[in-house]
Amino acid sequence: MAKDHGPTGESPDIHEFFGKDPVEADRAFFGRKTYSDRRGFLKGTGLATMAAMLGANIPFHRNMPGGLIPAAFASEDVLVGKDGLTLLNDRPVNAETPPHLLDDAITPTARHFIRNNGIPPENVDAGTWTLTIDGLVDNPMTYSIADLKSKFEVVTTALAIECGGNGRAFFNPPAKGNQWTYGAVACSEWTGVRLKDVLNAGGVKSNVVYTAHVGADTHLSGDPDKLPISRGVPIAKAMTDNILIAFAQNGGNLHPNNGAPLRLVVPGWPGSCSQKWLKRIYLRDVVHDGPKMTGKAYRRPNRRVEPGEKVETEDFVIIERMPVKSLITNPMNGATGGRSVEVRGHAWSGDRTVSVVDISYDFGATWMKAELDAPVNDGAWQNFRANVELPQAGYYEIWARATDSAGVMQPHAIDWNPKGYLNNTMHRVALRVS
């Protein structure tokens, strides 16, 4: 018997129902007149059916945003191909990786975090995908992925990507947005062509100031004329060696939620610069003003502010390089073990390298230097390890503190900012020794 995809069907498939016609699905489930009307609420058979599917009533159904698929369903489908990620939001999909699952020197594709701003495209056929380079170039071009592979040098490099809001959950007063803890960071091996090679082939005009990136994802509203995000970087940054137009990750296809089949990888800067589902790059003679480039998005105050202080929009500046940071991946937070402990993790610092990682197990009274690897290439994070002998049974905290090549050290606490960006406080994990 065929499935009934309506809200009162015997075996409803909620994802297929919303995917086929989100406007009708929203109306049926949520009782709304329009897709964008978030004041409506579930009612009648829609509410009853949704509650039956969840196995419980929905006390706050009146607050549910338009088109929301409950996480009880979303986590089953949107994280297919991922291993152990924590789903923060399903519309758009955002999921982070617990630190202990980031222990690999190179992050497996299945453990790379997801940060989406819109709805990923459905048609991601690498064979028909094209990328247009235009704007202030002498020779506008459109390339297939096969063209990119044949016309430019193909390189594979390990590159770290971190969301600008990684650590937002720890700001007080709270900052709005996805409440990332530690896991919106990864360092996979990416294969592609250098952005600068492709731009040089187009002929960069002398008055170019900024790049502008466009992806194929759609706005949450469903409006085809709206872009969910379009960011860029200064042309000087774009012409560095380690920015890739990538078509492979860890020797295989990109994950659909990580930008398949083509994306930018801009290491050391906020992950929002690494446009996914890349369709177009155009060059401009002004700072790009696409969605998530203006206002307060991916910006910080131009001065130190008091926690909770209101900051005017004109006092925000664009975030560029990410700050020095470290992450302990072993032991796992809350672990129980013996007195001998191997501490492992990673450290990184925007466009710089990390010079030292220090470890403390006595709440910062004393520190020991960890063994620190050099980056495998420019743009990769650095792996560290230290063997720690704890003096007796009890509760301990392992702290990690990185110092970069410019002498900047991770702080114990950072200045608050309204959007909750750039949290690089020292990472610490709890350990109980029996």
Distance CA 128, CA 111 (A): 28
Helices (H), 31-64: 44-54
Nearest-CA neighbor of 115 among 315, 326, 263, 309?
263
Distance CA 262, CA 247 (A): 5
Query: pLDDT of 94-113, one tens digit each?
Result: 999 999 999 999 999 999 99
Query: pLDDT of 159-186, one tens digit each?
Result: 999 999 999 999 999 999 999 999 999 9
Given this model, what pLDDT does residue 55 score? 72
Given this model, what pLDDT does residue 92 score? 93
Given this model, what pLDDT does residue 17 score? 46
Given this model, what pLDDT does residue 21 score? 45
Q: What is the mean pLDDT of residues 121-150?
A: 97
- pLDDT, the chain, mean: 89
Distance CA 105, CA 282 (A): 34
Task: Quickly state the pLDDT bin for 56 (edges 50, 70, 90).
Answer: confident
Coil, strand, or helix at residue 148? helix
Query: pLDDT of 59-94, one tens digit each?
Result: 887 777 655 656 665 555 678 899 999 999 888 999
* pLDDT greater than 90 at residue 15: no
Looking at per-residue pLDDT, the higher value among 328 and 31 belongs to 328
Query: pLDDT of 269-328, one tens digit each?
Result: 999 999 999 999 999 999 999 999 999 999 999 999 999 999 999 999 999 999 999 999
Q: Provide, rounded to the nearest whole percent, the portion of the chain with pLDDT above 70.
A: 85
Cα-to-chain-centroid distance, residue 219: 17
Task: Quickly state the pLDDT bin for 258 (edges 50, 70, 90).
Answer: very high
Residues 6+ apart with CB under 8 A from 134: 140, 141, 202, 280, 282, 283
Q: Which two tokens stand for residue 193?
A: 């062509």
Given this model, what pLDDT does residue 72 score? 64
Given this model, what pLDDT does residue 78 score? 72
Looking at per-residue pLDDT, the higher value among 376 and 29 belongs to 376
Q: What is the mean pLDDT of residues 121-142?
A: 97
The DSSP string of 297-335 is: TTEEESS---TT----GGGEEE--SPPPEEEEEESPTTE
Query: pLDDT of 368-418, one tens digit each?
Result: 999 999 999 999 999 999 999 999 999 999 999 999 999 999 999 999 999
Domains of the chain: 14-71 (no CATH), 115-318 (3.90.420.10), 325-433 (2.60.40.650)
Given this model, what pLDDT does residue 20 score? 42
Q: Give, as one character, the DSSP assignment of residue 375.
A: P
